[in-house]
């Protein structure tokens, strides 16, 4: 019952957010949040990269992005002033946190690993296993006011948050510039819209692999990485079926693919009862759909910057990329003892794209070399995405 109530709360949070946004949009004569259009914002993309879609009701602007950047790093967006969005999304780790699961202001842990925010603008569904969360404007409410688990802990304290933000002189200017149609109102709705705009702006398309594959720079990657690319996209390894395209993920939406694609997969990470069972607090989209066949199905994450986003898998239960390769090479993970004992390779609900494979030591090194070429060092230090409060402190 606890998990059912958890998802009821998550869905309620999304609906509450949508209700708040719809009310503000109606007052301002804006379109519904779910009407998507091509963005007019200058993301600084190379010609080969498509622009993301965005809600017509919340067009990305430089003013919103800058406001959102300030809010993202502001601990006033937590109940006790101890955490910000950055606490679980560090720029140097491609906006992940390096922990198996994250911890909120009360010490309560999230059930899942913190996903990267890089290129989140290209995903038509958000988080590991909630097909109902389709917009950043909805998802942002979960860490802000969600109660199961508590993350930033602002449920029932929204007025306190607004008061604290209004006391900061710079916010009066930033909100006025970002939301002239709302007369610069500081509210939960405008906070959510600004946070969403900032997150959409975090785009990574400058990795060595991008320069090699899309821009013709043959010196951008090593011979080993090129051999690793061939392995990755081979039918022998099958990696590319779930990790392909712009984001190295098979869930995608952008101006050149407006229909979008959504997929969830069971990778044989667990098999507790020999019938495919996953741990009760992490059963994948089955928690939403209620369908037995959806047990253990999670969204394939982007592999961009994967070398810095460990630990891996939806619950952070695999520490290194080497171990991830072991898992897929085996066709599913075997856990020999403990509460999660089971042979994932024989999970009857496992994806058909995980038959297993064998790699020589050289091939493994080549595959890792390829995966390392997906790291975009620029996005890890780009000042457009960095902490503005530190910049102000350093300027004093």
User: Which structural domains are found in the chain, ordered by start?
Assistant: 2-204 (1.10.760.10), 208-378 (1.10.760.10)
Nearest CA to 11 out of 146, 137, 125 is that of: 146
Q: In 10 A of CB 163, how many CB atoms?
A: 12
pLDDT band per the 50, 70, 90 thresholds, residue 32: low
Which strand (E) or helix (H) includes residue 298?
strand 298-299
Residue 1 has pLDDT above 90, yes or no: no
pLDDT(14) > 80:
no
Nearest to 142 by CA among 101, 106, 97, 192: 192
DSSP state of 384: G
Question: Between helices 62-72 and 388-395, what is the axis angle to 10°?
Answer: 80
| Angle between helix 169-178 and 188-201 (nearest 10) | 70
Kindly state the average pLDDT of the residues 197-224. 98
- Higher pLDDT: 18 or 239? It is 239
Q: At residue 142, does pLDDT exceed 90? A: yes
305 Rama class: left (phi>0) / alpha (psi -120 to 50) / beta: left
For residue 60, what are its two tokens?
């990305």
- Side-chain-side CA neighbours of 250 within 13 Å: the count stands at 13
pLDDT at 396: 59
Is there a contact between 313 and 323 (Cβ–Cβ < 8 Å)? no
Burial 78-98 (b: 16+ CB within 10 A, else e): bbeeebbbbbbbebebbbbbe
Mean pLDDT of 53-81: 97
The pLDDT value given to residue 137: 95
Statement: residue 287 has pLDDT above 80? yes
Strands 342-343 and 334-335: antiparallel
CB within 8 Å of 211: residues ≥ 6 apart: 217, 220
Residue-level pLDDT at 33: 64
Q: What spatial distance separates the first Cα and last Cα of the chain, rounded to whole Å?
A: 53
pLDDT at 2: 38
Predicted TM-score of the model (pTM): 0.92
Quickly list DSSP for 85-114.
Answer: GGGG-BGGGTSB-SSSS-B-TTSPBPSSPP
307/33: higher pLDDT: 307
- Mean predicted confidence (pLDDT) in 51-59: 96
Residue 395 has pLDDT above 80, yes or no: no
Q: Which pair of structure tokens corresponds to residue 250?
A: 């098979």
The predicted pLDDT at position 225 comes to 98
Averaged pLDDT of the chain:
92
For residues 206-229, average pLDDT: 98
Residue 65 has pLDDT above 70, yes or no: yes
Nearest to 111, CA basis, from 278, 257, 325, 348: 278
pLDDT band at 391 (very low <50, low <70, confident <90, very high): confident
In sequence order, the 6+-apart residues with CB closer than 8 A to the CB of 361 are: none
Strand 264-265 versus strand 257-261 pairing type: unpaired
Q: At residue 17, does pLDDT exceed 60?
A: no
């Amino acid at each position: 019952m606890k998990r059912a109530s958890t998802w009821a709360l998550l869905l309620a949070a999304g609906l509450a957010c949508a209700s708040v946004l719809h009310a503000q949009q109606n007052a301002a004569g804006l379109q519904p949040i779910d009407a998507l259009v091509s963005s007019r914002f200058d993301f600084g993309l190379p010609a080969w990269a498509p622009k993301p879609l965005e809600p017509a009701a919340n067009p990305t602007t430089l003013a919103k992005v800058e406001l959102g950047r300030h809010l993202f790093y502001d601990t006033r967006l937590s109940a006790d002033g101890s955490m910000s969005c950055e606490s679980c999304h560090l720029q140097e780790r491609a906006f992940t946190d390096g922990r198996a699961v994250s911890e909120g202001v009360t010490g309560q842990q999230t059930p899942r690993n913190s996903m990267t925010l890089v290129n989140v603008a290209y995903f038509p569904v958000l988080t590991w296993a909630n097909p109902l969360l389709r917009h950043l404007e909805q998802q942002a409410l979960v860490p802000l006011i969600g109660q199961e688990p508590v993350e930033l802990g602002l449920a029932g304290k929204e007025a306190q948050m607004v008061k604290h933000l209004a006391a900061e002189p710079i916010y009066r200017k930033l909100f006025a510039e970002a939301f002239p149609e709302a007369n610069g109102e500081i509210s939960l709705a405008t906070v959510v819209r600004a946070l969403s705009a900032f997150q959409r702006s975090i785009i990574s398309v400058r990795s060595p692999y991008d320069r090699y594959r899309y821009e013709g720079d043959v010196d951008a990657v090593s011979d080993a990485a090129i051999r690793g690319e061939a392995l990755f996209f081979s039918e022998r390894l099958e990696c590319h079926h779930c990790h392909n395209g712009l984001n190295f993920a098979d869930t995608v939406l952008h101006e050149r693919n407006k229909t979008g694609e959504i997929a969830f997969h069971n990778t044989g990470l667990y098999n507790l009862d020999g019938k495919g069972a996953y741990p009760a607090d992490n059963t994948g989209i089955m928690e939403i759909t209620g369908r037995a066949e959806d047990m253990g199905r999670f969204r394939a994450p982007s592999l961009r910057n994967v070398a810095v986003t460990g630990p891996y898998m939806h619950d952070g239960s695999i520490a290194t990329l080497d171990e991830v390769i072991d898992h897929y090479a085996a066709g599913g993970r075997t856990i020999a003892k403990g509460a999660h004992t089971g042979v994932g390779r024989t999970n009857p609900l496992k994806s058909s794209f995980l038959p297993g494979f064998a790699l020589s030591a050289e091939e493994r090194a080549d595959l890792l070399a390829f995966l390392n070429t997906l790291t975009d060092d620029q996005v890890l230090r780009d000042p457009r995405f960095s902490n503005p409060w530190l910049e102000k402190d350093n300027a004093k």
